[in-house]
Amino acid sequence: MAALCSLAEHHLAVHEGAVDAVAGEVEQLASRAATVVSGAAEPVQVLATLRHLQGRPDEALQLLRDSVRFWYVSTMVWVGGCGCWWAEVM
């Protein structure tokens, strides 16, 4: 997941003046990263950076707000059906 996000951020940095040229690939990388680690904040933050660079600050801000919930976990709950812990978000 981290490698996919890093690659997306690299594309954004290298193509800073021509973000639209890499927007599709950045979105695909972020989507793949989100499927690798469900509930990770980093892919959402990559999309926020993309929206900011595209001149869409309202969308960027909302994505950043959405990503914050992944960082704050109020409690962990054991889910017996899957045999795993689940984070309940504040």
Looking at the DSSP assignment, which residues form a beta bridge with residue 79? 84
How far, in Å, CA of 38 to CA of 24, rounded?
A: 21
CB atoms within 10 A of CB 85: 9
Q: Would you say the C-alpha torsion 52, 27, 9, 65 has a positive or negative sign?
A: positive
Q: Which residue has the tokens 């660079």?
A: 53
Q: What proportion of the chain, given as a percentage, has pLDDT over 90?
A: 60
Contacts of residue 35, Cβ cutoff 8 Å, sequence gap at least 6: none
Which pLDDT does position 10 carry in this prediction?
95
pLDDT in tens, 12-44: 999 988 999 999 999 999 999 999 988 889 999
